[in-house]
A = this chain, B = another copy of it.
Amino acid sequence: MKKIEAIIKPFKLDDVKEALTSLGIKGMTVTEVKGFGRQRGHKEVYRGAEYQIDFVPKTKIEVVIDSESVADVVRVISEHARTGEIGDGKIFVFPVEEALRIRTGESGKDAF
């Protein structure tokens, strides 16, 4: 099993969610995060003073899947999250040792 973690632009979340659902993904977990990267933040003005805000709002999607699906999921996310402009984000893949559905106690692939 693997966990795919994707940092994307917030307004792409719905697209990506739909695409993953079409792929048969049943669940995922989403977190609002702040990203720092090549995409610069923005200027803000407060009482005449200027501030450079380095962090940009991003959305993190986490999906745990079986190892065979990794390529598909990565491809689908990257297709649907892409705008072609800087700041589109990253996808990381992590090993997962175990998974468990709390409600039923099912584990492994059956858990998700």
Contact = CB atoms under 8 A, between A and B. Distances in A.
Interface of A: 2-3, 6-8, 17, 26-38, 54-55, 58, 60, 64, 70, 74, 77-78, 81-103, 105, 111-112
B97 A93 contact: yes
Nearest to A63: B36
Contacts of A36: 17, 27-30
B86 A98 contact: no
Given A30-B33, A74-B100, A83-B103, 16 more contacts: A6-B102, A8-B102, A26-B38, A29-B33, A29-B35, A29-B36, A30-B35, A31-B33, A74-B98, A77-B102, A81-B102, A92-B98, A92-B100, A93-B99, A94-B94, A95-B97
